[in-house]
Amino acid sequence: MDNSIHPQSEHKAALGASMYVPTTHKDLLAIANGDKFSHLRSVIFCTEDAIAERDLSYALFNLSLALQNMSEASDTLRFVRVRNVDVLSRVLAMPGVDKLAGFVLPKSTRHNFASYFEQVRHTHHLLMPTLETAEVFDDEEMKLFRRTLAAPEVRARILALRIGGNDLLALLGLRRPTTGTIYQTPLGQVIGRLVTIFKPHGFELSAPVFEHLTQDDWLAAEVAQDMAHGMIAKTAIHPDQVPQIERHYQVAQSDIELALRIIDPDSPAVFRMQESMCEVATHSSWAQRVIEQARLFGIRHADGAILPLHLNPLTSDEGTARP
């Protein structure tokens, strides 16, 4: 096994809409190889809440067959959400486990994280701890967990933190409504605090799943609110949700024009554009993020056309960074 560490920057923004797939799925191998749902940027094979206890043995057997037979290389980032420390140990012992990009850790806290990390310390696997326990409601506890994750040997392995919306609502005796977004529940404030606790310290967060499959307008509204919180990744539970979510990650032409002007070294420190004040010192980090987002998801032009960043006339060699 190659024990080198995957660089985070290569993967963190590329997660997009991560589709959860139970490890009992009959097409597990086809999905892993991209023969089915080839549009997936990332997929998470779940051994936890999606699997009943009575089905766990078969789920792990099915996963082991898929790992042995899946292709070495893939355009899709492949992860396994483990059920507990024991299941992580069992998956790590499976032939082919090195084909995985990493693991999603359930119900992660500063108290149980070390038991997971010690098992992957000498592998290449990246980790996505899931914030979905009562500790999430305690800001001080989250800051202590951040300190655990910020240790140098750990920090390099944390791809993102996933927010477990359904588990957090369950702790409150609630379920998300069919009309509305998660930001209209008590979790709206919680998500905002998680962003301010973790994101300034370089930790990316992935937004919670939207579980209602026919409420497209509310899904669109929620993704817009995710993005307003700086989250360009979200859990999906159905393949139809993936393009619906990632459509919103395409950058508007007006935004890429603004971002390019902000990073232009010839731009003044403060200028007016698109009827807004732009300040290079404070808006440069936003601009860099928008340009990276456009590189990954494309640019949405006013006529509805979607172009990759390198084909956009504003960013090609013949173009100019100024609108």
Per-residue pLDDT band for 316 (boundaries 50, 70, 90) equals very low
* Each residue's pLDDT tens digit, 43-56: 999 999 999 999 99
Distance in Å from the first CA to the final CA of the chain: 49
Encode 13-49: b = buried (16+ Cβ within 10 Å), e = exposed: bbbbbbbbbbbbbeebbebbbbeeeeebbbbbbbbbb
247 is in an annotated binding site: no
Residues 6 or more apart from 234 whose CB is under 8 A from it? 17, 18, 206, 207, 208, 209, 210, 223, 226, 245
Confidence category of residue 304, pLDDT binned at 50, 70, 90: low
Tokens 């390198």 correspond to: 310
Give pLDDT, residue 282. 95
Query: CA 126 to CA 221: how far, in whole Å?
Result: 30
Question: In this predicted structure, what is the pLDDT of residue 175?
Answer: 95
CATH class of the region 8-247: alpha beta
Residue 300 is labelled as binding a ligand = no
CA distances from 201 to 186, 204, 273, 296 (A): 25, 9, 30, 23
What six digits make up the tokens of 316?
A: 């090609």
Q: Please, are residues 82 and 115 in contact by the beta-carbon 8 Å criterion?
A: no
Eight-state DSSP code of residue 158: B
Section 188-202 average pLDDT = 97
Residue 311 corresponds to which amino acid?
A: L
| pLDDT classification of 310: cutoffs 50, 70, 90 | low
pLDDT of residue 301: 82
| pTM metric for this prediction | 0.90
Identify the CA nearest to 206 among candidates 144, 147, 126.
126
SS3 content of the chain, % helix, strand, coil (to 5): 45, 15, 40
Give per-residue pLDDT as tens, 253-286: 999 999 999 999 999 999 999 999 999 999 999 9
Compute the distance between CA of residue 26 and CA of residue 3 in angstroms, rounded to an integer. Answer: 31
Place of tokens 């379920």: 175
DSSP class of 177:
-
Domain boundaries, the chain: 8-247, 251-311
State how far the Cα of 130 lies from the Cα of 311, in Å rounded to an integer.
37
Residue 272 annotated as binding site: no
